[in-house]
Chains A and B, each alone.
Chain A
Amino acid sequence: MALQHPKSGYVTSVGGVDRRGFLQAAALIGGVAGAAGGLTLAGCSVPDDTPASPGGALRLGMVGGSTSDVLDPRTFIDWVPINIGYQLMNGLVEIDAAGDARPELLEEWESHTVTEWVFKVRRDVVFHNGKTLDADDVIYSINLHRGDTRSPAKVVLENVLDIRKLDANRIKITLAAGDADLPATLSDFRLLVVPDGFTDWANPIGTGGYRLESFEPGVRCITRKTGQYWKPDAAHVEAIEIIVINDPVARVNALISGQVDVINRIDGRTANLMKRNARFQVLRSQTGQYAVLAMNCESDPYRNNDIRLALKYAIDRASIVKTVLNGYGTVGNDQPIPPGNRYYDTGLGQHIYDPDRAKFYLKRAGVNRLSVTLQASEAAFSGALDVGVLFQAAAARAGIELQVKREPVDGYWTNVYMKAPFCASYSDGRTTVDGALSKAYRTTSSTNDTNWRRPAFDELANQARAETDPAKRRTLYGACQRMIAEEGGALIPMFMDHIEAGSQRVQGWRPSAIFDLMGQRIGEKVWLKS
């Protein structure tokens, strides 16, 4: 995510109960299979790791930091502070490589109804300042994002009515509407745990495996191992250094010249070049991140669903994935659930490039020649303007005159997004289907960027969220996907993979189901070949 992101977007909600966590946690609600699991992991390198060994310094060269960064989780919006946050602090729930919820500081959970949940706080976990973790710390940390707060995680917790302490190690969360995936919802990267009453964000105290040594916002951050981490088989390297490198070429150069061990966010062409060099490994994560061309369903001519369908059939998705993404992505089908997700509706027909069909819908809308303007910028997603140009050429054959208006990167999210009737945007992957649906398709969502409002859809999504029977849930979610694809205002041309690269020294490094760099937790997970 280059530059800033005032899109109050990416609600990292939800995931599901993972299989191991399921056993450990003895979760009582049977059958709530994790929602997002099954996000396939298309790792490029076959893991052939040396045994885990401690020591060494891991150096990450990352895009996503700026001089205004602060280590207060309520301000987290970009990758560098998020990564540092996970070095110093722990979350409530972790999402594993398969996309399932696993216990972190909340070690067990149970729910008899899907509106009332009891969570057990992990015992014998000690903060850097010597305090032992208890329920008060967890409640304080969650409440930082509730009520009168500027935290973008507020929307994730909007469904939470009440959080109550049962005893020193148990809390009870009451929801307004049932959510069978609450544990995965609590995996949001902003829900990091600090001691009760903590406010000194210049030097965060957490339960993480590393302690802050120096932090120069937008330049560099160094953390050092505490030596007494509660997680087994984690925090191997002695120190972690993040160097902020926002320029993509400089990032690759830094890796090649050996100044960093791992870099994030490389493009498909660079990935193909790096793969040819045996000194480097290239990792590809399919996280459900997608590009979207958002049509405002309340403005003309997009008010008419036939116009929307005409545009959906006038774009050549396969060639866009091939040329813009160099193949590092999947064709989209105008709904936010990626293929490979366990609730992906395979019965839904793929929207293909079909100029005749597009013309048919234009005719049905009573339009002979359609002329529309797509507002796009590289800020929306990398390659957005290329997508616009390819769309323009393809649409011309369907009798649609598409203008691509290039918008400046600076101010794109405030001046164009949610204001232009047809503009480019993107969405990060979610750990649950409900997270993906809630973000932009519910009537009440503040980031409903297509102004598509269907009470019937909201009702369906609510039913699905509270449904614990997987088969019934699949049917409900299938109907949701069909509604968005056939009636929605989102033209989703492609799902975009995350690609990261690093030296062969880095071991234990895997693709992730959520974001890149192992869900930004790479620091405590990898080790270095000596």
Chain B
Amino acid sequence: MTRLLAERAGLGLLTLLAVSALLFFGTNLLPGDVAAALLGQDATPEALHNIRAALGLEQPAWLRYLHWLGGALHGDFGTSLTSARPVGAQVLPRLGNTLLLASLAALVSVPVAVGLGLLSAMREGGLIDRLVSLLSLVTISVPEFFVGYVLTLVFAVQLGWLPSLAVMHGGMSLAERLAAIALPVATLVIVVLAHMLRMTRSALLAVMSAPYIEMAFLKGLPRGTVVLRHALPNAAAPIIAVVALNLGYLVVGVVVVEAVFVYPGAGQLMVDAVSKRDLPVVQACGLVFAATYVGLNTIADMLAIIVNPRLRRPR
């Protein structure tokens, strides 16, 4: 099993390396080079040359890639082209905000989703199961910004309990931060909950129709024990995969929620950078997002191997 795990980890690193190359060369393929984008209408040949030299753009692309990758490994992502501030210093606080939002949303949504999924699988066809199915269908069908607007309308505008803006800054206490972040967290929980819940339920039910489960029932075991002891470990792989996918989404895909609640996360930073063609910032954000996604999926793969009895003891 150790070999299998090491293989997965190695594959993850390779994927990340490939993504980094794709990111670097992809952004370099964008029409018009950085110097021209910076100068706009004032692009004289002399000015272009000066900027290219200053940014080291006259070196071959592969050399620049290696420099960039080496810097990135040390946490040095270069300097922003538009604001001349170090990219790392811009990305890090934003990434912190994004991770805070994502981890709080995950903390609430993962247990609730898996718990409710288990419950409705155990009570298949019962009142709870049907209710949960209906609600999850509703939440999976509405776009996230709509959920955000409805929550804002009810809790911020009508009731006035929570702030509609989730602006975060240095001088805030933990309680203030939690209050500010409550609505975006609730929005994200609602958005990701249904997906994980339905996956848990259907993965469990698929396993429940297997002969060995029938055997367990025939032995006289109660339904709860059958589900938790015999079905769940075998259904874990797809559940873990969908949880990892949703965690990844929570980190990299929440630009819309950030915009609705004016939350200073990394997604908004990347969108701003793309519109200003600030490539170092785009590359740094892209790399951080890719690392998150690849990392989460690799961990999910490894977890699936660890919890699955058949993979754990290969013949």
* Contact present for B264 and A250 (CB under 8 Å): no
* Among candidates B83, B149, B276, residue contacting A249 with C-beta atoms closer than 8 Å: B149
Q: Closest Cβ of chain A: how far from B120's Cβ, in Å?
A: 35
- Would you call B80 and A68 a contact (CB within 8 A)? yes
Kindly provide the distance from the CB of B143 to the nearest chain A CB, expressed in whole angstroms: 13
A113 contacts chain B at the CB level, 8 A cutoff: no
Cα distance A70–B160 in the bound complex, in angstroms = 35
Q: Is B17 an interface residue (CB 8 A)?
A: no
A253 within 8 A of B: yes
A410–B275 CB distance below 8 A? yes
Question: How many of chain B's residues have a CB under 8 angstroms from any CB in A?
Answer: 35
Give Cα A254–Cα B260 distance, bound, in whole angstroms: 11
Q: Which of B39, B41, B83, B164 contacts A259 (CB 8 A)?
A: B164
User: Do the beta carbons of A257 and B259 come within 8 Å of each other?
Assistant: no
Contacts A243-B262, A246-B259, A257-B163 given: A68-B276 contact, CB under 8 Å?
A: yes
Number of interface residues of A (CB under 8 A): 34
- Digit string of A244-271 for contact with B (CB within 8 Å is 1, else 0)? 1111011001101111100000000000
Give the dominant DSSP class at B's interface.
helix
Specify which chain B residues have a CB less than 8 angstroms from the CB of A67 in the assembled complex: 83, 90, 268-269, 272-273, 281
User: Does A4 have its Cβ within 8 Å of any Cβ on chain B?
Assistant: yes
Is B160 a contact partner of A257 (Cβ separation < 8 A)? yes
Given the known inter-chain contacts A67-B273, A68-B272, A243-B262, please indicate yes or no for A253 contacting B152, CB distance below 8 A: yes
* A410 touching B264 in the complex, CB below 8 Å, given contacts A220-B169, A259-B165: no
Contact call A214/B169, Cβ cutoff below 8 A:
yes
Q: Are B264 and A68 in contact (CB under 8 A)?
A: no
Given contacts A69-B83, A70-B84, A446-B41, contact A250 B163 (CB under 8 A): no
Chain B, 149-196, CB within 8 A of any chain A CB: 149, 152-153, 156-157, 160, 163-165, 167, 169-170
Closest to A253 in B: B164
Interface readout for B121-163 with A: 1 if CB under 8 Å, 0 if not? 0000000000000000000000000000100110011001001
**CB-contacts of B76-94 with A (<8 A):** 80, 82-84, 90
* Cβ contact within 8 Å between A247 and B259: yes
**A217 interfacial by beta-carbon distance below 8 Å:** yes
Are B157 and A253 interface neighbours, CB within 8 A? yes
The chain A residue with its CB closest to the CB of B93 is A216
Q: Is the CB of A257 within 8 A of B167?
A: no
Residues of A within 8 A of B269 (CB): 67, 218
A20 in the interface, Cβ–Cβ < 8 Å?
no
Using known A-B contacts A220-B169, A253-B164, determine if residue A4 contacts B276 with beta carbons closer than 8 Å: yes
Near A by CB (< 8 A), chain B positions 236-282 give 259-262, 264, 268-269, 272-276, 278, 281
Question: 1/0 per residue A40-69: CB within 8 Å of B?
Answer: 000000000000000000000100001111
Partner of A410, one of B149, B165, B167, B274: B274
Asked if B42 and A150 sit within 8 Å, CB to CB, the answer is yes
How far, in angstroms, from A68 to B164 measured CA to CA in the complex?
A: 24
Inter-chain contacts of B274 with A (CB < 8 A): 410
Asked if B273 and A216 make an inter-chain contact with CB atoms under 8 angstroms apart, the answer reads: no
A250 touches B41 (CB 8 A): no
**Contact of B163 with A220 in the complex, beta carbons under 8 Å:** no
Q: For the complex, is B40 an interface residue (Cβ under 8 Å from A)? A: yes
Q: Given B156, B170, B272, which contacts A66 in the complex, CB threshold below 8 Å?
A: B272
Q: Which residues of A contact B273 (CB under 8 A)?
A: 67-68
Q: Say how far B259's CB is from chain A's closest CB, in angstroms.
A: 5
Give, as a whole number of angstroms, the nearest-CB distance from B181 to chain A: 14
Which positions 19-47 of chain B face chain A at CB distance < 8 Å? 39-42
**A243 near B164: Cβ-Cβ < 8 Å:** no
The yes or no answer to A6 lying at the interface (CB within 8 A) is: yes
> Is the CB–CB distance between B165 and A216 below 8 Å?
no
Of listed B39, B167, B268, residue having the most chain A CB within 10 A: B167
**Residue numbers in A under 8 Å from B278 (CB-CB):** 68
Partner of A4, one of B157, B275, B281: B275
Residues of B within 8 A of A243 (CB): 165, 167, 262
Query: In the complex, A69 Cα to B269 Cα: how many Å?
Result: 12
B165→A250 contact, CB < 8 A:
yes
- Kindly state the separation between the CA atoms of A257 and B262 in the bound complex, as whole angstroms: 14
Min CB gap A254→B, angstroms = 5
A61 (CB) vs chain B CBs: closest residue: B165
Q: Are A68 and B83 in contact (CB under 8 A)?
A: yes
CB-defined contacts of B156 to chain A, threshold 8 Å: 253, 256-257
Identify the closest chain A residue to B80 (Cβ): A68
Interface centre among A3, A61, A250, A258 (most CB of B within 10 A): A250
In the docked arrangement, what's the CA distance between A254 and B259, Å? 13
Known pairs A245-B262, A250-B260, A253-B164 / 13 extra A-B pairs, C-beta < 8 Å: A3-B275, A61-B165, A66-B276, A68-B273, A70-B83, A218-B268, A243-B165, A250-B262, A253-B153, A253-B156, A256-B164, A257-B156, A257-B160
User: Would you give 12 A-B contacts (Cβ < 8 Å), ordered by A?
Assistant: A8-B41, A66-B276, A216-B264, A218-B272, A219-B169, A245-B262, A247-B260, A253-B164, A256-B156, A257-B152, A410-B274, A414-B40
Q: Spell out A's residues near B (CB within 8 Å).
A: 3-4, 6, 8, 61, 66-70, 150, 214, 216-220, 243-247, 249-250, 253-254, 256-260, 410, 414, 446
Chain B interface residues (CB < 8 Å from chain A): 39-42, 80, 82-84, 90, 149, 152-153, 156-157, 160, 163-165, 167, 169-170, 259-262, 264, 268-269, 272-276, 278, 281
- List 3 tightest A-B contacts by C-beta distance, closest first: A68-B82, A253-B164, A257-B156
